[in-house]
Amino acid sequence: MALVAASSQMGIALHEETSFPVGKADFMTLYPLNFREYLDARGDVRFANAPWGDDTEFFNAFREIYMDRLKEYLYVGGMPEAVKCFAESRDFAKVRGIQKNIIMYYEHYFSKHAPAGEIARVNMAWHSVPVQLAKENRKFIYGLIKAGARAREFGFAIQWLEDCGLVRRVYRAARLISCCKEAAG
């Protein structure tokens, strides 16, 4: 009999002293669905299986469909439960409910796994991520977490979120940004 379980790496990566069945578990690193996987899950197999190379003829022929699907993907994201819900219902409100639950679950994990003295800062840093991503200036600004905040105050919280796999530092996104602007036309 096989058993498959999924969880964040918080409990394992951050609580090394906890007993664990060595030799009886296999680990896999899972990521949210990418755009191609999203198209496949959505039922757009023809678009998911299109040639994804330098040949842009197919993409240009279906540009509007791809742009609509990309906008959906940017809203729905790649979390499997949210993608499955949207593929079955095409209901953005249901997807938003799932997304809110996922965020709430992560916040509950923080209180269990983050060091007690860091929980408030981890939560504040976590809540600042959408604000940081939405602003025109692409640099992370600690002052947006809390007025007068500095790296020394929130550096651990950001590193903790990164170590848990919940955020990822991107040091240079200029090429990605220019590609997205070109695609948007």
Domain boundaries, given as residue ranges, for the chain: 32-113, 115-185
pLDDT bucket at 177, cuts 50 / 70 / 90: low
Its pTM surpasses 0.75: no
> Which token pair is 48?
């998911």
pLDDT bucket at 181, cuts 50 / 70 / 90: low
Per-residue pLDDT for 8 more than 60? no
Question: In whole angstroms, what is the distance from residue 23 CA to residue 16 CA?
Answer: 16
Per-residue pLDDT for 160 more than 60? yes
Please tell me which of 9-18, 81-90, 157-166 the model is most confident about, judged by mean pLDDT: 81-90
pLDDT at residue 61, as a whole number = 87
pLDDT bucket at 179, cuts 50 / 70 / 90: low
Per-residue pLDDT for 100 more than 60? yes
pLDDT bucket at 125, cuts 50 / 70 / 90: very high
Are 87 and 42 in contact by the 8 Å Cβ rule? The answer is: yes
Question: In whole angstroms, what is the distance from residue 169 CA to residue 167 CA?
Answer: 7
Question: In whole angstroms, what is the distance from residue 39 CA to residue 53 CA?
Answer: 17
> Which token pair is 149?
């905040």
Question: In whole angstroms, what is the distance from residue 33 CA to residue 121 CA?
Answer: 29
Question: In whole angstroms, what is the distance from residue 123 CA to residue 183 CA?
Answer: 35
Query: In 10 A of CB 142, how many CB atoms?
Result: 18
Environment class of 11 (CB within 10 Å of its CB; exposed 0-12, middle 13-18, buried 19+): middle
Place of tokens 């959408």: 130
Question: In whole angstroms, what is the distance from residue 93 CA to residue 95 CA?
Answer: 5
Per-residue pLDDT for 102 more than 70? yes
